[in-house]
Amino acid sequence: MAPQPGQSSNHPLPAKELGCFKKIIKSYEQKQYKAGLKLAKQIMSNPTYAEHGETLAMKGLILNSMGKTAEAQDCVKRGLKADLGSYVCWHVYGLVQRTEKKYDEALKAYKRALMLDKDNVTILRDLSLLQIQLRDYEGYLASKYDFLRLRGNQKTSWIGYIVAHHLVKDYDKALGVMEEFIKNNKPDGYDFEHSELILYQNMILREAGRFKDALHALEQNSTHIADRVAYQEIRGTLLMELGHFEEAQKVWKQLLDRNPESLEYYNQLEACLRINGNEKDKLKMYDDLAKRFPRAAAPRRLALYMVEGEELRTRLHSWIVPMIRKGAPSLFASLVPLYEFPKKVEVIETLINEFVKKMDDEGYNNVSLEENGEIEPPSTALWLYVLAAQHFDRVGNVQLALNYIERAYQHTPTLVENLMLKARIYKHAGEYEEAARLMDEAQSLDTADRYINGKCGKYLLRAGRLEEAEKMLSKFTREGEKASSHLTDMQCLWHEIECGKANRSLNKYGEALRRAHHVEFHFNTMIEDQYDFHSYCMKKMTLSAYVKLLRLEDVIWRNNYYYQAAKLAIKIYLRMLDRPEDMNEQNGLIRDGMSENEIKKMKKKLKKQKELEEEAKKKEKEKEVKEEGLQRGPQIDGEQLLKTAKPLEDAAKFCQHLHVLGTQHVTGYALCAEVYRRKNKVLLVLKCLNEGSKLDSQHPLLHIQKVKFLTYWPTVELNGVVKDTAEDLVKTIFGNETDAKNLNEQFKIANQHSFAHRLAYAEARSSYEADSSLNKWLLKSVEDETVNGRSLKMLIKLRDGIEYGKYGKWSSEEITELKRLAHLKYPLSIEFGGGLAKPKSETE
Amino acid sequence: MVAVETVSEGLRKLDVNGKPIRKVAGNARVVLGDITPHNILQLKALHNAIFPFNYNDKFYTEVRGSGELTRLAYFNDVVVGAVTCRINNSTDKKSLYIMTFGVLPVYRQFGIGTELINYTLQLAEKDESIKTISLHVHIDNQLALNFYKKHGFEQQELVENYYELLPSIDMKHEAYSLVKKIRD
C-alpha cells in the first residue's frame, strides 16, 4: 500500500501542512474551489513548500475544474517536475490532460501513477474509463481484471469484467463469467436488473452465433424477463435464425396485435413468409393484415407502394378520402414514395383532378366522394385543395400550386397550414422573401407553436434576414440571452447548418465556417458525453443498451447533419485556395458596373458596420464572462478560422470523418477526392473514388473527380506496395479506360438527357481543355426540353460555378443570356432577378 | 395549450330551420376552445372573413383577456367560428352582450352556431346576476334574425345609427336590438 496523499512523495508534509492538504482534497470533492485554492496558498507560503509537488498538483486540479485550463496545465506540470515519484502528481497530471483531450498523454500518466501505487482503485477506474472511451478493449479488459481482483465483492466489478470480454469478442469467457455471476446472484422475485442481465446474456449468445442456446436460455428465463416486447422480438428473430418460420410468424403477428404500426414487424413477417419477390403473395399478406387491423394505417399504406394502374387508383381513392375529410397532415408524406414513378404520379394527378371536378360540378356543399350518399363535411374541399397544391408543388407546377392554395385560403382563411404551404411553394419557386413573409404570418396565427416558430426562423435565414431570424427564434429560447447562443448550447444542429449556409450566401465565410465547426464541436461533445454512461450503465445493469450506445457512438460521424457541416466547411476551405479574394467580405458585394466612388463608399460603410459588430460581440462576451464566471460552449472565432495557413489540412480533418466510417453520400466521396488529390494522397483519392463508384458509378460530381484524377495520374510517381495497390485500384475503378478525354466523352453520350451530368461533363472538360463552344452547348441545354433535371437548384449551381470559374471563360453576354433563360423558366426566383413586385416603399 | 372541449360528434347537415337532412361522412368533430394571446390573430382572420368591416385593435385587446366570455369553434381542429361577449353593466340590469358571433360560410348549417349559442346561454345561466342576453343584428341579415329568434331571442327596437361609426362602408346603418330574458 502506497502512503497517503500528501505524504506519498519524496517530500512529505509535516502535521500542520498535512492537515491543510487533507482539507484541500475535501474542498475539491465538495466543489469549494475558492477555499481549496486558499489552503494551497497557505501551504506554499511556507518557503520550504513553495514548490511542493502534490500541493501544486491539487491546485492545478482545482483550477482545471474552474475552467482555467492554461493555469491548470502550468501547475500540474510544475507539480510533476517537483515530484516525479508521487502517484498523486501523475494521476492529477493525467486528469488534466484528459480534460484537454490529450488522451495518449493521459493514458500514459495514469499507467505511471498505477505503477507507483499498484492497487489504487480510483486511478484504476479513471484508467479504465479512458480505455473504454478510446476503445482500447484489450487495455480495458486488463483493467477490469485488476478491478475484479481488488474489488471482487462488488457487483460492478463482475459486470465490467463480463462486458470487457464481450467487447474483445471472447464470448465463451464472457458467458462463463456471466453464468458464475448469475449463480451467485439469484434474484428473489421480481428483479429488473436480473431481467436486463438475462437479455444481455442473450445478446452475447446471439453475437456468438449460438442461436439454439440463445432460444433455450430465453424461453427458460421467460418469467424473469420484464421487458415483454423485447422478449418477443428476440424470440421472433431467433426462431427465424433457426429456420422455424411458422412459429416466428406467430410471434410477429402477436407483436403486431400490440402495435400494428411497426414497420419492422411487417418486414419481419414478410421475411418469414419468404415471399420477398412475390408481389402477389405479399399484397395478400398486407390485405389480410389490413382486415385484421381495421384501424391501422401501415398495412394499407405499404400496400399502396406495391400496386400500379387501376389497382393503385382504387386503393388511393379509399386511402385519400377519409384523410381529406379529417385533414391528416401525414397524407402527402404517405404519397411521397410514389413520386419516384412517373406512371404513378399520373394516377395521383388524375384522381386529384377528378375529385376537384366533382367538387366543382356538384358544389362542395352537396358532394359525396363515396357512393353511400353521406354528404362530405366542409373540410373535405379544404384538404383536397391543400393536397392538390402539395401535388403541383411537388411536380414543379408553381402556378397551379398557387391557384389551389388560394382556393384553400378562400375556403378557410383561418387555417395556419394554408399559409405554411403557400410559403413553401414560394420557397421552392425561389421567392425567399415572400416565403419568409408568409411563414411569419402563419407563425403570428399561432404563437404558441414552436414548430412554426422554428420554420419561420429557418425561412428568414433562407431569405438572408439573419437578425430577424434571431429575434423570431428568441421567442422560444432563454430570456436575456441571444437566441443563437442558446441554440448552440442546446446543440440545435439544423440551426447551425442554416446559419452557416445563410452566412455563406452573404459572403461571410468566417461566420459560415464557425457554424460548421460548431457542428463538429457538438458531435465531439456527444462522444465526450459517453463518459457518463460507462459507469452509470454498469450500475443500472442496462447492458444491452450500453453496448448499443458504444456502437452508435463509433459511427456517429455518419449522421447527416455532420455530413452537411463537413460539406459546407470543405467547400469553403477549397474556395479559400481557389479564390482567396472571396474571403474578403467586401469583394463579394462589388457588383458589375459600380463606379469607383460607389465602391469606395460601400467599403467605408462595411468597415464601419464591421467595427460596430465587433464591438457588440466583445461586449456580449464580456457580459457572458461576468455572469457565468467562465465561458460556455464552443469558443471558436470565425475570423481566426479564415486566417488559417493550411486550409487543406483543415478541410482534410472534415474529410477524415466522412470517408473513414463510410458515407452514404457520393458527393462526400467526391469532395474528399478533391481534397486528397490536392494533398497528393493518391491512395486516399482512389479509395474515395472506388467507394463512391460502388454507390453510383455515374454520379456527376464523382465523374468530375475521376476525370481530374486521370489527368493527374500520369504525373504521380510511386513505388513499391503503394504503386501496386494504386494500380490495382485504378484498374478496379476505370477498367481499361484511363484516358481522361475518352472517359469524359463516353460519360457525355451515356447521360445526355440529364442536366446534372451535362454540367459535370462541361466542368470535367474545362479541367483539361478550354473550349468556349461549351458555353453555347450549356445554354442550349438549359432550354432543351429533352434534358431532365433543369431545376432551379441546378441552374443556380451553374451560375455559381461559372462565377467560380469551373466552366471556363464566359462572356458577360453569355452570362446575361443564362440569367434571361433562367428567369424565363423560374420567374419567381429572386436569384435570377425575378420575384413578386415589391411595394414601392420597400424598394426605395 | 388551448383548453378544448368536444361538444358534438357525428354531425348531420341541417336545413335552414335546423332540421337534420343528411348524414355527414366521416367522424366530424366540433370542439370549443379558449382565446389566448397566442391565437388571437386566428379570431381576427375569422372576423375579417365573415364581417364586411374590420374591428379595431382595441376590440382585440379586450377580447384577448376575456376568458370564458369568448370561444372559438373548431371543426376537425380548424377554427371556423367564434363568439365574443362582454358583461354589460350600463343599465341597472346586468346583461350578457354578444359583441360578435359567426361561422365561416362553408361551415354553416352543421349545427356549429347552435353549439356556440348554447354555450353562451349556459354562460348566462351560470351567473345569477345576469338577467338578459342581448345583441344587435344588421337590418338586412334575415338569416341571423331567424337564427336568434329560433333560440328564443325577441326582436326589440330598431337602432338607427348602430353602424354609423364604421368607416365608409356601403351598407345600411340600422340594426335591430335583440334580447333574451334569462331570469327575473
Alpha carbon of A354: minimum distance to chain B alpha carbons (Å): 19
Q: Minimal CA–CA distance to A573: which of A673, A649, A521?
A: A649
State pLDDT tens for residues B114-155: 999 999 999 999 988 899 999 999 988 999 999 999 999 999
Q: Which of B22, B36, B80 sits opposite A412 (nearest CB)?
A: B80
C-alpha cell at A805: 470559374
Q: What's the CA gap between B120 and A473, in Å, rounded?
A: 38
CB-nearest to A414 from B1, B37, B46 is B46
Residues of B in contact with A320 (CB under 8 A): none
- From B97, B119, B151, B173, the catalytic residue: B97
pLDDT for A840 beyond 70: no
Q: Nearest CB to B49: which of A372, A373, A413?
A: A413
User: Grid coordinates in use for B179?
Assistant: 334580447
Share above pLDDT 90 across residues of chain A, in percent, rounded to a whole number: 80
pLDDT at B24: 85
Q: How confident is the model at residue A109 (pLDDT cuts 50, 70, 90)?
A: very high
Gap between the Cα atoms of A144 and A758, Å rounded:
59
| Alpha carbon distance A800, A781 (integer Å) | 17
DSSP secondary structure letter of residue A789:
-
Confidence of residue B1 (pLDDT cuts 50, 70, 90): very low
Through-space distance between the first and last CA atoms of chain A, rounded to whole angstroms = 83
Q: Considering CB atoms only, which of A325, A382, A445 is closest to B42?
A: A445
Average pLDDT value for chain A: 92
Residue of A nearest to B2 (CA): A448
Chain B contacts to A (CB-CB under 8 A): 1-2, 11, 13, 22-28, 36-39, 41-42, 45-46, 48-49, 75-80, 104, 106-107, 110
Of A327, A369, A446, the CB nearest to B76: A327
Confidence of residue A604 (pLDDT cuts 50, 70, 90): confident
Report the run of H or E that residue B88 belongs to, with start and end. Answer: strand B78-88
Instruction: Determine whether the interchain pair B25/A411 forms a contact, defined as Cβ–Cβ distance below 8 Å.
Output: no
Q: Is the pLDDT of residue A690 over 90?
A: yes
Name A350's Cβ contacts closer than 8 Å, sequence gap at least 6: A313
Q: How far is B29 from chain A (nearest CA, A)?
A: 9
Chain B CB contacts of A374 under 8 Å are 22-25
Per-residue model confidence (pLDDT) at position B18? 73
The residues that bridge with B12 in the sheet, in sequence order, are B23
Edge-to-edge strand ranges of the sheet holding B154-159: B4-9, B29-33, B70-75, B78-88, B95-103, B132-138, B175-181, B154-159
DSSP per residue, A317-382: HHHHHHHHHHT-TTHHHHHGGGGGSHHHHHHHHHHHHHHHHHHHHH-TTS--SSTT-PBPPTHHHH
- Enumerate residues 759 to 778 of chain A having a beta carbon within 8 A of any beta carbon in chain B: none
Give contacts of A413 with chain B, Cβ < 8 Å: 45-46, 48-49, 104
Q: Which of A414, A417, A446, A449 is the best mutation test for B, with the most CBs of B within 10 A?
A: A414
Cell for A328?
391528416
Confidence of residue A732 (pLDDT cuts 50, 70, 90): very high
**Mean pLDDT (whole number) for A685-711:** 97
In angstroms, the separation between the Cα of residue B152 and the nearest Cα of chain A is 28
On the question of pLDDT at A562 being above 50, the answer is: yes
Supply B75's cell numbers. Answer: 371543426
Residues 6+ apart with CB under 8 A from A576: A509, A583, A642, A644, A647
Q: What is the CA radius of gyration of chain A?
A: 33
CB atoms inside a 10 Å sphere around CB A726: 17
- The reply to whether residue A327 touches residue B37, judged by beta carbons under 8 angstroms, is no
Kindly indicate the confidence band of residue A371, based on its pLDDT and cuts at 50, 70 and 90.
Answer: confident
B163, pLDDT greater than 50: yes
Q: Chain B partners of A326 at a C-beta cutoff of 8 Å?
A: 26-27, 76
Number of domains in chain A: 1
Average pLDDT over residues A490-511: 96
| Cβ pair A446:B42 closer than 8 A | yes
Of A364, A368, A444, the CB nearest to B106: A364
Please tell me the distance from the alpha carbon of residue B90 to that of residue B88, in angstroms, as a whole number: 6
Query: Which of B11, B30, B39 would best serve as a mutation to test chain A binding (most A beta carbons within 10 A)?
Result: B39
Among chain A residues, the shortest Cα distance to B35 is held by A446
| Fold (CATH) for B4-132 | Aminopeptidase (3.40.630)
- The amino acid occupying position A469 is A
What are the residue boundaries of the structural domains of chain B, listed by start? Answer: 4-132
Phi-psi region of A839 (alpha: psi -120 to 50; beta: other; left: phi over 0): beta
Which own/partner contact pairs does A251-259 have at CB distance under 8 Å and 24+ positions apart? Answer: A255/A229, A256/A289, A256/A292, A256/A293, A258/A229
C-alpha to C-alpha distance for A436 and A424, rounded to whole angstroms: 9
A448 closest CB neighbour out of B11, B38, B45: B38
The yes-or-no answer on residue B136 being catalytic is yes
Is A81 inside a domain boundary? yes
Q: What are A6's three cell numbers?
A: 500528501
Q: Is the pLDDT of residue A247 over 70?
A: yes
Q: Which positions ≥6 away from A30 have C-beta within 8 Å?
A: none
Pairing of strands B132-138, B154-159: unpaired
Q: Which pLDDT score, from 0 to 100, does residue A592 have?
A: 56
Do residue B104 and residue A412 have CB atoms under 8 angstroms apart? yes
CA distance A536 to A156: 10
Confidence class for position B168, pLDDT limits 50, 70, 90: low
Residue A162 confidence class, pLDDT cut points 50, 70, 90:
very high
Of B107, B119, B136, B173, catalytic: B136
Q: What pLDDT score was predicted for residue A844?
A: 36
Provide the 8-state DSSP code for A740.
H
Locate the chain A residue with the closest alpha carbon to B107: A378
Phi and psi at residue A664, to the nearest 5°: -85, -5
Q: How many CB pairs under 8 A join A and B?
A: 87
Give the residue numbers spanning the domain of A40: 1-118
Candidate ranges A368-377, A448-457, A615-624; pick with highest mean pLDDT: A448-457
Q: Which residues of A touch B106 (CB under 8 A)?
A: 364-365, 378, 381, 411-412
The Cβ of residue A660 has, within 10 Å, a number of other Cβ atoms equal to 11
Q: What is the rounded average pLDDT of the residues A716-721?
A: 92
Output phi, psi for A792, to 5 deg. Answer: -55, -40
> What is the CATH classification number for the domain harbouring A27?
1.25.40.10
Query: CA A482, CA A485: separation in Å to the nearest integer?
Result: 5
Q: Most A CBs within 10 Å: which of B22, B34, B41, as the mutation test of the A interface? A: B41
Residue with grid cell 385484421, as numbered in its chain: A292
Instruction: Give the per-residue pLDDT at A734.
Output: 96
3-state secondary structure A742-777: HHHHHHHHHCCCEHHHHHHHHHHHHHHCCCCHHHHH
DSSP secondary structure of B98-159:
EEEEEE-GGG-SSSHHHHHHHHHHHHHHH-TT--EEEEEEETT-HHHHHHHHHTT-EEEEEE
Mean pLDDT throughout B163-176?
74
DSSP structural state of residue A828: T
Nearest residue in chain B measured CA to CA from A475:
B38
State the pLDDT at residue A843.
41
Average pLDDT over residues A641-645: 92
Q: Chain A residue with minimal CA distance to B82? A: A414
**Residue A204 phi, psi dihedral angles, 5° rounding:** -65, -45
Residues 385-424 of chain A with CB under 8 A from chain B are 411-416
Q: Residue B79: which of A375, A378, A414 has the nearest Cβ?
A: A414
Residue A437 amino acid letter: R
A403, A420 Cβ separation under 8 angstroms = no
Q: What is the 3-state secondary structure (H, E, C) of A459-508?
A: HHHHCCCHHHHHHHHHHHCCCCCCHHHHHHHCCCHHHHHHHHHHHHHCCC
Q: How far is CA B159 from CA A594, A771, B83, B90, B163, in A?
A: 66, 84, 22, 17, 9
Through-space distance between the first and last CA atoms of chain B, rounded to whole angstroms: 38
Asked if residues A167 and A173 have their Cβ atoms less than 8 Å apart, the reply is no
Contacts of A325 in chain B (CB under 8 A): 25-26, 28, 76
Of the candidates A745, A691, A734, the one whose C-alpha atom is nearest the C-alpha of residue A712 is: A734
Please tell me the predicted confidence (pLDDT) of residue A130.
96
Distance of residue B79 Cα from the nearest chain A Cα, in angstroms: 6
Which band of pLDDT confidence, cut at 50, 70 and 90, is reported for residue A648? very high
- Specify the amino acid at residue B54: N
Residue A815: per-residue pLDDT: 95
> Among positive and negative, which fits the CA dihedral A79, A84, A88, A90?
positive
Residue of A832, A757, A836 whose CA lies nearest to A799:
A832
Q: Is residue B97 annotated as part of the catalytic site, yes or no?
A: yes
- The dihedrals phi and psi of B71, each to the nearest 5 degrees, come to -140, 140
Which of A369, A374, A444 has the CB atom closest to B24's CB atom? A374
Contact B25 A376 (CB under 8 A): yes
Q: Looking at the complex, does the CB of residue A659 fall below 8 Å from at least one CB of chain B?
A: no
Q: Which residues contact A728 (CB under 8 A, 6 or more apart)?
A: none
Nearest CA distance, B13 vs chain A (angstrom): 8
Query: Is there a contact between A535 and A132 (Cβ–Cβ < 8 Å)?
Result: no
Cα A489 to Cα A486: distance, rounded to the nearest angstrom: 5
- 3-state SS class at A315: helix
- Whole-number Å distance between alpha carbons of A472 and A476: 8
Contact list in A for residue B102 (CB cut-off 8 A) is: none
Report CA A372 to chain centroid distance, whole Å: 49
Q: Which helix (H) or strand (E) holds A99?
A: helix A87-99
3-state helix, strand, coil in chain A (%, to 5): 75, 0, 25
The contacts of residue A626 (CB under 8 Å, 6+ apart) are none
Cα(A484)–Cα(A486) distance, integer angstroms: 5
In a domain, A246, yes or no: no
Closest to A440 (Cα-Cα) out of B62, B53, B41, B36: B41
B79, B110, B112: best to mutate for the A interface, most A CBs within 10 A: B79
Q: What does the alpha-carbon distance between residue A90 and residue A75 come to, in Å, rounded to a whole number? A: 12
Q: Say if residue A722's pLDDT is above 60.
A: yes
Dist. CA A138–CA A142, nearest whole Å: 6
pLDDT tier at A140, thresholds 50, 70, 90 = very high
Residues present in chain A in total: 844
Chain A residues whose beta carbon lies within 8 Å of the beta carbon of residue B80: 378, 412, 414
Pairing state between β B78-88 and B70-75: antiparallel
Task: Say yes or no to pLDDT of A842 above 50.
Answer: no
What is the pLDDT at residue B169? 64
Question: Per-residue pLDDT tens for B6-43?
Answer: 777 677 888 777 777 778 888 888 999 999 999 999 99
